[in-house]
Structure 1
Amino acid sequence: MTSRRPACFISTGSVLIDLPLQVNRIPAPGGAVTASSTGPVVGGGYTVVSAVARQGKPAALAATLGTGPNSALVREAMMLDGVELVVEELVGDIGTCITLIEPSGRRTFVTNEGIEAEPQLDDLRQLDLLPGDWVHATGYDIVHPLSHRVLADWLVDLPEGVGLVVDLGPVEPEIGAATLGRLLGRATLLTGNHLEITQLGARLGSPAALREACPGALIVRRTGVHGCVLWPAGGSPIEVAGFSRDVVDTTGAGDTHTGVLVAGLMDGLDEVTAATRANAAAAEAVSRQGPARCPLREEIDALLSEA
């Protein structure tokens, strides 16, 4: 009898190379500012899949990589984290995101695109998805004119028993009403920061309308240093306290939170326990430079013991 493989987390989020630049201020139009940097790092959709892998759970990337030097950097990171690439590469290379980081941790992005915006439907259809797997999608890819045409229909038609994690991000207002409604209706976990979830509720008419739009989803409102608020399907909102750390760089904090939360659910933890671990991981991540800086499972255990 053939044994079943372990449940896997699969991210469709497009991966970029981040160039973080520390600045004292954002220059005025036509102005100039001196920046410091530690060099390029792997970012974008890689952060969430890296966070899952660092908890010891099977993690895979279903986002397009290319044949150029940027993609080679991603493959090096994947080897270190134990992340598998489950789609074919394309000729070309992924893009770059320049991130201007102010002393407060606030970020400003300038992105140039590459082949990460060209997911292949045949590749996604050939994925061997099983009940217990989780698929992660971002608003950036859902709203993009190229990737939208591939991802939107594929995501809402995922096999029964496969969880769908939706992080709409700040581009949610650009997602059409029909696509938004279908995604929310299929979502198993909907996550966003306080502003994003508030704006989505306002767009739909009320928090109650948001709850009705995604009846089967755990809704996660990330509240920074305060932690997060969970709204389970069929239950009432639950506030889960956060952890305080000195903020160095908030890049990827939300994805770190999401990855550790889902990894906890894959481990069979209850929602509050998984969210507590996610809060600790996100707090530690913002005290480190760069996007994919999620602490390892044992580091989170140590943080919780100290707390």
Structure 2
Amino acid sequence: MTVFNLGSINADLFYQVPHLLAPGETLAATAHNRGLGGKGANMSVAIARAAARVVHIGAVGTDGRWAVERLLEYGVDTRHISEVSEATGHAIIMVDPQGENAILIHPGANSTVLETHIEAVLKDASDGDTFLFQNETSAQREGAALASARGLRVVYAAAPFDADAVRAVLPMLDMLVMNAVEAEQLSASLKVALPDLPVRDVIVTLGGEGCRWLNTDLGTDTQFPAIPVAPVDTTGAGDTFTGFLIAGLDRGLPMEQAISLGQQAGAIMVTRRGTADVIPDLKDIEDARLA
């Protein structure tokens, strides 16, 4: 099976700071580095490192060739990443000593993906494949509609959160992944409780509290406790969780096992500084032996 990931590709610019910046404040960073990121790229790397086949659908500028090469090095099929005239997307990421972050994103080339591009890629898809996307590219609704029409499992990681963006794709979704704040915002905006959403599987990540899986067909709401670790940087942990979750499902794991795999990968991820470049693989999970 294959995961087709319509996803952003960013240059992540990391700044270690004494505390997260307040409005009007000027603050000196204690360290800086650049890495591969973007929610889409992070998830593609996580899927590849979880031993599933992933085809990335996206765009970079001429300044982003290094990012495409890095994705290829990590095992991602990059043949459907376009090179456009826009600059590659980038993110400015502040990380404090407790591992909390604040992120500013410039979409750049991520906003140039066209429906025709997605349609051409999905001609190679079959009804056992998965279409994954996030709210960091253009043509999200068009891509979801094309994938749904072809019988793919359609999964939306609803971040950065926008209620209107979720509303636009909700009829096409088989799975919706959100954090607790996003879930609360969505319920308030739609005036619908999570169990009443028209999506079969709803996954809500709860940070240090673990996560929930709601199966709206069966009416079940299952809690999964968090794996205790000492975090140093939470950036990319949710993307890592989602990538391993989707890879596990693609490989035929039951939902409970796929969620557990995602939690283990996410727990390792928060003990590392960086994003796509430091996402763990299956051997890391086996070596860590996290409960």
Which of the two has greater strand per residue?
A: 2
Identify unmatched segments of 5+ residues in structure 2: none
How does the TM-score come out when normalised to structure 1?
0.86
Name the structure 1 match of 2:275.
Answer: 291
Alignment of 1:228-267 (within 5 A): 228-235=211-218, 236-267=220-251
Name the structure 2 match of 1:4.
Answer: none
Residue 147 of structure 2 is aligned to residue 163 of structure 1: no
Structure 1 position 28, deviation (Å) = 4.2
Separation in structure 2 between the aligned mates of residue 139 and residue 90 of structure 1, nearest angstrom: 20
Structure 1 position 151, deviation (Å) = 2.7
Separation in structure 2 between the aligned mates of residue 112 and residue 258 of structure 1, nearest angstrom: 22
Identify unmatched segments of 5+ residues in structure 1: 1-6, 142-146
Residue 174 of structure 2 is aligned to residue 188 of structure 1: yes
Q: Secondary structure at the match of 1:171?
A: coil
Q: Secondary structure at the match of 2:136?
A: helix
Name the structure 1 match of 2:49.
Answer: 54
Q: What amino acid is aligned across from residue 73 of structure 2 in structure 1?
A: L
Is the 1:242–1:280 contact (alpha carbons within 8 Å) kept by the matching residues of 2? no
Structure 1 position 265, deviation (Å) = 0.6
Q: CA RMSD in A?
A: 1.9
How does the TM-score come out when normalised to structure 2?
0.90
Which consecutive aligned stretches of 4+ in structure 1 deviate over 6 angstroms post-superposition?
A: none
Is the 1:181–1:213 contact (alpha carbons within 8 Å) kept by the matching residues of 2? no
Is the 2:18–2:30 contact (alpha carbons within 8 Å) kept by the matching residues of 1? no
Q: What amino acid is aligned across from residue 226 of structure 2 in structure 1?
A: G
User: Percent of aligned positions with the same letter in both sequences?
Assistant: 26
The farther-off stretch of 255-264 and 222-231 is 222-231
Residue 85 of structure 2 is aligned to residue 79 of structure 1: no
Q: Could you report, residue by residue, the CA deviation over 1:203-240 in whole angstroms, capped at 9, with x for unpaired residues?
A: 22232xx444324x310010112221101232201111
Separation in structure 1 between the aligned mates of residue 111 and residue 68 of structure 2, nearest angstrom: 18
Q: Secondary structure at the match of 2:51?
A: coil
Q: Could you report, residue by residue, the CA deviation over 1:28-50 in whole angstroms, capped at 9, with x for unpaired residues?
A: 44443221335110111210110
Is the 1:64–1:118 contact (alpha carbons within 8 Å) kept by the matching residues of 2? yes
Separation in structure 1 between the aligned mates of residue 224 and residue 161 of structure 2, nearest angstrom: 26
Q: Secondary structure at the match of 1:276?
A: helix
Name the structure 2 match of 1:144.
Answer: none
Q: Secondary structure at the match of 1:184?
A: helix
Is the 2:196–2:216 contact (alpha carbons within 8 Å) kept by the matching residues of 1? no
Structure 1 position 165, deviation (Å) = 1.1
